[in-house]
Amino acid sequence: MTKRLFDFCSSLIGLILLMPVLILISIAIKISSSGPVLFCQKRVGKDGKLFTLIKFRSMTVQQESNSTATVLGDVRITKIGVFLRKYKLDELPELWNVIKGEMSLVGPRPDVPGYADKLVGKDRNVLKLRPGVTGTASLKYANEEEILATKDNPQKYNDEVIFPDKVKLNLDYYENQSLWLDIKIIFATIFRTSY
């Protein structure tokens, strides 16, 4: 309950304080490429239930993809999208998902349908958590697009190396979660430091 209250209050305050930034980003997206400001996609949430994730659109509308393996320099990414993704600003609308109770500020990143099916045994404990805007795996793989850009088969590397490692990191978070840990992860995310 404490975590949920912290998530709700922090996200509400965050949305209010960041409103000018959100408006500027929205305008920049609208004038830089055709299409909607927001990108909505079904993701797997707590207990495996689907919810609609809300992000700022960072790719061209015609080439949006369900793939979780996006590489640095991907032609689908718009010019403003490069900036938004670099500083994780495209994630800011997810604060609304947090307010609605679909996400938490800290937790495993929500995957597209299909990846949750790969979780077996104790790995499925990850699904007991609300997905997060940031988390331990997000911090470790903050430069994931750069890593994947160096691989011959980015999707395969993501599926066979990065995804299993993220599961381990998320399980460790599941077993050691606390409000203090969440606060450290949030500050590490904001200031791009280790926690």
- Prediction pTM value: 0.91
Low-confidence ranges of the chain (pLDDT < 50): 64
CA-nearest of 144, 183, 190 to 163 is 144
pLDDT digits (tens, 9 = 90+) for 76-93: 899 999 999 999 999 999
Q: Which pLDDT score, from 0 to 100, does residue 61 have? A: 84
Q: Which pLDDT score, from 0 to 100, does residue 67 have? A: 54
User: What letter represents residue 191's amino acid?
Assistant: F
Cβ count near 122 (within 10 Å): 11
Total domains present in the chain: 1
Q: Which pLDDT score, from 0 to 100, does residue 100 have? A: 98
Please give the residue range of the domain that contains residue 24: 2-191
Q: Which pLDDT score, from 0 to 100, does residue 194 have? A: 77
Q: Which pLDDT score, from 0 to 100, does residue 14 have? A: 97
User: What letter represents residue 185's amino acid?
Assistant: I
